[in-house]
Structure 1
């Protein structure tokens, strides 16, 4: 309860400033008559109110309130009225202008306050301040100290504001990075879906065609083809569920199976062989330790190339897969002896552009096209680590 009242009271700047000035108002009310012998009580009250009342709105209008206080002090000086307790408003106004406005306004307020102190010292030089050798220096030090305090507070406030602005900017940048990461993840999922659907549907189509031809002449082979279709369909559904599940925020990520890599290349080749495409695989060199992203890229390159052979190579096509593991790069070559340039192309495929995009992410290169003498080849070179230099053989 007390905390809420305090927060509500602090929320009103004018109310806070009025409470801050209340002790000075009480001190002025109980001032002795020695300071008012040259001024009637109504005049004394008018000067006190004219000096203290504008300070209630000092933070809302710092320059106008300081101007009013300076004008009232000038009137006080013209009537030869000595310093009053309410003259502390000059120091409060100087601090407010320095802390809440521009440096030029702060310097102007400092000059006005110092000029007013010098005028006061000149007026009372003969009759007062006998205990102080240099009264102007006394005033000047106090005024300068108040100006330094206001300057410090303004500098600190600007620093805190810059820290808050930086925090807000970093928060916005973090949100933008998150949005970009989500967009990139959705693009990756789209590429994954294309690879999964294109490969598995191609296998299913080839197996279905083979089963239809062998249904009457070779029932055993037709049954094997149907079994392969069933297994391929289940595999495709499982991968599609895994990929689409990433888009669901209420699913547990831990239930997703790992991304395929080099260890799953054997299963991929076996699946393609069961689909009717003879594939010969050879590897040279020692497989380096590759990140999962690079392993997935190699897997998808082989998958896409073999899928294209299944779709466009023809019934008698065969394929060769060569993996060359080097200290700086992995070279992947997939060649077939199918139709090559004679194969039909509807122009709607995204496999080769997606392949180049995948490999390009890691600074690699892809060369794909018909072979001289027939067939098709895909050659990809993937750096083993960041910054590995690529030679110019595959650059096109």
Structure 2
């Protein structure tokens, strides 16, 4: 069971600082909540000191045997210690000891039920209502048995503390026990209800924090994917052009200079896309950030031209209706960009690199394939490109196929769900 808000060590706030949990109302209630052992000690003292004193006095007045007086005082002392130590944690043990005290008091003719009343309240509050009602039934039976034993052992028709006959005394004791149980059940149910509400508040706060962490992780993954697409594409083109320029610089300086100009253009394009990404991350306060839109399918021909200038023999083919949904256009652009970047990086000696974008009724298929017999291992990456591509395509319920072609070369085929691109579709 969760700890009650009345407990002194219950946290007053949850992760994130909200929601603030309620404090016990009133100065006195807060004081007793902070000092539970003081409360238990006072209850034990109020019960034990006068009860032990009365038992000793009555034993002397009635001339009871010394051994009986010792047993009675020892049982009351045990009940007092149990009330102090176990009232909150083991209330059933306190109830059992209280019943024992009640039975031991039978020869004295005065039935001790205070320990039972304290224990019934504690069982209802700190254990469960069901246990309290079961304890009430057992306690009533013990009290009735003690009443009849007291009358028989004392050879009298009057049983203390009510000076009733055994039956009347049993009924009176049962009423007092019922009152203690009802009060305990009421307080215990309210306590458990508040515990459930506070536990629910903690669960909601934890769920809120977990959702925030998941959203942050998804955003980091998206940013990493975009950054990889930008940096990997730009650097691959620049490295390829720079290597070609270094090879041709001695015999064709003009061609080398033209290649270096393309390197500068590729670097500026990558820097521009990087600034757009950083502008989105830094927010509206960064007025100098470029706010131009993300690339779409209309930018694919220019992308293909850039790879042709880098020496990659690319052929672009499109078919089907136009793609209008912006996020789908960006996804198609990134797929083509990743496929051509991998071809430029690994497909050295390729005679043909085909890019096909086919729009059908329910899906969009993007294919990038080359005929390179031998795959180059230079500039080998960590595999983040294809992993990010699969994550991007999975957002649209699509699939990615990447691997060697049967006749030689490499194939990248991605299929996207195009239903969100139709009128009335969910983006």
Short-chain TM bin: 0.5 to 0.7
- Structure 1 unpaired stretches of 5+: 387-396
- Aligned position for 1:393: none
Question: Structure 2 CA distance, aligned partners of 1:323 and 1:15?
Answer: 79
- Aligned position for 2:88: 59
- Aligned position for 1:325: 359
- Is the counterpart of residue 284 in structure 1 residue 320 in structure 2? yes
1:252 is aligned, of 282, 285, 298, to 282
Question: Structure 2 CA distance, aligned partners of 1:78 and 1:222?
Answer: 117
RMSD of aligned alpha carbons = 5.2
Q: Deviations over 1:178-199 (max 9, x none)?
A: 5565555555555444433332
CA contact (8 A) 1:39 1:81 kept: no
- Aligned position for 2:144: 118
What count of residue pairs does the alignment treat as equivalent? 368
CA contact (8 A) 1:15 1:56 kept: no
- Structure 2 unpaired stretches of 5+: 1-24, 64-68, 421-427
Per the normalisation by structure 2, the TM-score is: 0.63
Deviates more, 1:276-285 or 1:216-225: 216-225
Q: Deviations over 1:285-319 (max 9, x none)?
A: 132536x3x54432221002222333355578454
Question: Structure 1 CA distance, aligned partners of 2:171 and 2:132?
Answer: 20
Return the offset for 1:78.
Answer: 1.8
Return the offset for 1:276.
Answer: 4.4
Return the offset for 1:27.
Answer: 11
Question: Structure 2 CA distance, aligned partners of 1:149 and 1:295?
Answer: 69
Return the offset for 1:160.
Answer: 5.1
- Aligned position for 1:341: 373
For the residue of structure 2 that corresponds to 1:367, the secondary structure is strand
Residues 1:56 and 1:263: Cα distance change in structure 2 (over 3 Å): farther
Question: Structure 2 CA distance, aligned partners of 1:137 and 1:95?
Answer: 19
For the residue of structure 2 that corresponds to 1:10, the secondary structure is helix
- Aligned position for 1:195: 229
For the residue of structure 2 that corresponds to 1:341, the secondary structure is coil
Question: Structure 1 CA distance, aligned partners of 2:403 and 2:108?
Answer: 101
2:109 is aligned, of 80, 83, 99, to 80
- Aligned position for 1:95: 121
Question: Structure 2 CA distance, aligned partners of 1:160 and 1:69?
Answer: 29
Question: Structure 2 CA distance, aligned partners of 1:329 and 1:192?
Answer: 23
Return the offset for 1:157.
Answer: 4.8
